Amino acid sequence: MTVTPRGRHAPVSEATTHRLSLLLRCLRILDGEGVGTISSRLLEERFGMNSAQIRKDLAQFGEFGVRGVGYRIPVLRDRLRGVLGLDRARIVVVAGAGNLGLALADSRNFNSPPFRVAALFDVDPAKVGTASRTGIPILAGTDIARQTQALGAEIGVVAVPAEAAGPTAAALVAGGARAIRNFAPTPLGPFRGVALKNVDLTLFLDGLSYLLAASEPAPPAPEP
């Protein structure tokens, strides 16, 4: 799915937004070090990024490079934040306080501005009323729609077992979530007006095995 955020540029693919996110992270690191400009070549050397791909991606959003100098980091960083919709706060709720939900909610990457994880939900009475390691409250899984609305959450994360994923996503949408990230091991159907992305953990291994296969001879054909 490609869309045009705010009519400011041509739609870009999810692969591109992933690369832009990674680039933005690198720019933040450099900015924190006081670096003012950087070339795509140095981005490749330092962070292992593909400099040609960087230039191609950025060309879609205007002219950022200065010949012989490189990219002006604060300018590029702010522009990427706008493109990625990161120029305003976003409340997130995570349904499921198992290992995955807790790992996400307590991650300093996941729960970091402009995103704020406001609550976890779980159906386990022993967990409800407690908090995660970093202090995120765990609320009742029966209360998802109401709490999602009360918290003003725009993004709902589904980290529950497969059999609970459908009703959980529906409750998040009922509570006003306009974007759903589904980590449950089952694809969820589309919801009208909701950006839905399924994440299959297997993909992380499948992608690697594809690369491993590149360096291997074909397996022997099975006996007829």
- Chain residues 59-98 in contact with a copy of itself, contact rule CB under 8 A: 82-88, 90, 92, 98
Of 140, 151, 170, 199, the one binding a copy of itself (CB under 8 A) is 199
CB-neighbour burial class of residue 8 (10 A; exposed 0-12, middle 13-18, buried 19+): exposed
Q: Judged by CB under 8 A, does residue 25 bind a copy of itself?
A: yes
Report in angstroms how near the CB of residue 177 gets to a copy of itself at its nearest: 10
Nearest residue to 106 via CA among 122, 91, 117 = 117
Q: What is the DSSP string of 69-98?
A: TEEEHHHHHHHHHHHTT-SS-EEEEEE--S
Place of tokens 């869309």: 3
Q: Judged by CB under 8 A, does residue 209 bind a copy of itself?
A: yes
Of 10, 33, 67, 109, the one binding a copy of itself (CB under 8 A) is 109
Beta strands in the chain (DSSP E): 37-38, 65-66, 70-72, 90-95, 115-122, 138-140, 155-158, 179-182, 195-198
Rounded to the nearest angstrom, the gap between the alpha carbon of residue 9 and the centroid of all alpha carbons in its chain is 21
Q: Judged by CB under 8 A, does residue 219 bind a copy of itself?
A: yes
Helix (H) or strand (E) holding 104: helix 99-106
Q: Judged by CB under 8 A, does residue 134 bind a copy of itself?
A: no
Q: Judged by CB under 8 A, does residue 195 bind a copy of itself?
A: yes
Q: Judged by CB under 8 A, does residue 13 bind a copy of itself?
A: yes
**Residue closer to a copy of itself (CB basis): 69 or 205:** 205
Of 26, 38, 76, 91, the one binding a copy of itself (CB under 8 A) is 26
**Residue closer to a copy of itself (CB basis): 125 or 189:** 189
Q: Judged by CB under 8 A, does residue 154 bind a copy of itself?
A: yes
